[in-house]
Structure 1
């Protein structure tokens, strides 16, 4: 600034050239320019401004324009504050100082709140009168605002401390004296006279519960401690009761590791602990109930996501727990039922209507068993679905019994018709092959007796009082086929295969199958022609019995039936339902070609 002052054009300035300045101004300016502290000189009746480099930052964008100009012009924005101060120093000859003075300066085009420490002292001229002012000072805006923010933060924290819902306190020193405790803490311990007292004095009941030793450890080690749902016995308002607390003991240090005390924060979780215990007990009761009934129970989210199955589901299906969550449940259904089940379930999810369907579910044995599925939705007060609860009930045996009953009724009707038809054919065939009435009577008697024996073997749904028995497959075949063949036709059927013993149920099913095949062969197939033949063979392929029925004739082409008759459906039902197998029937011009694959294990039933 000394160079700038020397080069300044003072010829038109009221101060005049520097060589004409009085010695008092020269001396003051010398002190100003050589000072490292922000310093300014205001000289003359209008306080013309001179200043050093350290002070040049104070006027900001007004530097260097402010050099040599009147103070009132330079500080027009704050002159209402500093102007009277300047005038008073000149009038009284006494200096003035102030600290953290707020001066509303204009900076960057806008008025700002600024704070300053500064002093103004009189400079006397050669005549002893005050000719100017010596000014030193520095800005304290950041310090003042930081102090203000800190005070506001302290006030805010104090308010938060008082209003905090959690119980908080500060313990001072090694004796753990209560210095601060907010209302929530006083309410927790059930007393108000704890400030200034040590913990063992204010809360003597906790001393024997190990908390004093725990506080000592935290204070000495400087390591915090957190407790979760810790049971504490407190004498609250004269009543001893156990509460469960979550708490933190946080050591407080000042300076270089000097321990001040411990910050305590605690939350009473007694109600939560009790609620959790009640919920656990309720859940245990619920699980005991849902797992004690025979039905499979399941539940889903509103969107149909399966997230719960009871133990019966896993026992029944044999799948690992959790493996059918989400949409994986549909994979447990028979492939033929999956799309139908999905369609019904999606409809219920979309409409909220009850879910009700019968489908085949894979049992742990690998067998698909019929079950009935039901579900109801639960809605909230707004009518929104919040959950689905459903059941699965095994009705396989009931359904099979009903199917067997229906089948029996149809079979009885079918068999009676066949018996009349068979008897008519037997009379006709016998009449053509005998010469006398006596001979015809004897032949018919033999065939009717064979038919009676076969009928005993093919009875369906026999009473439990009937004795169980077994029969060789070849003997069964002979007895079943005998009523259908005349003496001349016996050579048309050949039977080949190992000895296989059939249980009562499998014998009845097999007798039914052979009877239907023989009846069809006489009515529509090879045995209805003079040169027709049937080869029946069987053999084991691992755990499967393969039985073939092969018809042949050359006199006439046999047409394939245009529709599936009751006899064919009866055969399919017996093979799949009673013998756990499958049947393939192919019609050729020579006659029917039938292949049965039967479960070896089922043959013993």
Structure 2
């Protein structure tokens, strides 16, 4: 029997499961075995119906898409268990694409629908039903091809996820062709470089490259054409406002479906904060190295100078330990909140710290030093030297002077005139001083290296019978530069 489709092209189907004429009681004739084999071999879902929409044939691909095997001559319009429109609303079988093609006696091309299988899974598909007419023009049935969109759905979902990641990324993500022309520009790129997508897309990527680095782009494009990936390339780029920004750059080739490289994708990350952190860490390391060297130098000096004023190892150990302990207490004043940058302290606070060990015991404890006059701030880098100097004054007073007797004390008066600060140290109620010591002790040697060297000041001693008087003069700027 000769039949034709709506396109007027004659097709010989031979014996088939289509009715030989319209009507519900028309006999069904089996398909030609050759044609049946062809339809079974096709990867797409194929099925046929009679003029009333009863399924007369389906191949294995159709059964796999539906997840069920419909009954020949009983199932209508489509073999799926349930149908839905793309928006998820139910689609009755008698309103599906095949039903429309039979009712309107016209082909339906690429109408999308969703088939639900008995196990609950859903498959998006495109339907291409075409009515079939006999030689006399009578409708005798229809054939439908269903195109499974599962792979495309997965690709679309992946593309949506990719787009969401690109759009929400804090990094600048830019695509360019092999001529260096920008073709995509995400919000991260706008934040980093200052250009809107309208200002950037279609423009050469070279607009981001400083003049002294223009030779970088040709080299990058050459490596991309060769299929190379560029990882963690650190460089400098120019923003819209002309400012420069340090970035870490990763560049990958972009290929089309045939595998041919058609461009490059760039991810640029602002590394300004990282570089600042690295610089700060380097500064801290250098500062720590400097301080450690200073501490070792100071410790050596304390040992060397202490050795000149003692006669036994025990005396040396005691003197060095006391001096280093005083330095530790003074140093603690410079870092009141744990490990942080070195802080300043005040002269009065430093004196109170140095004299704390000499406060008399008991309920009527009295300070051993009375400080009067204006205070002065001492910067962190001068605290150590000042503390060591005051400690030597207090130690000598405890050994030989006013602090060696319970009723002795030290009167410390401060004054300032035109940026010159004067500290007057006067010991009272100590042992009577009969004469000036014959040899210079640690304090004298320290005065030469610290007062004159670091403080750029002067120190004088007067050995009065009622007690030692020390006068220390130095400039304010030497202990707390503005």
TM value normalised by structure 1? 0.38
Higher relative contact order (CA 8 A, sep 6+): 2
Larger radius of gyration: 1
TM value normalised by structure 2? 0.46
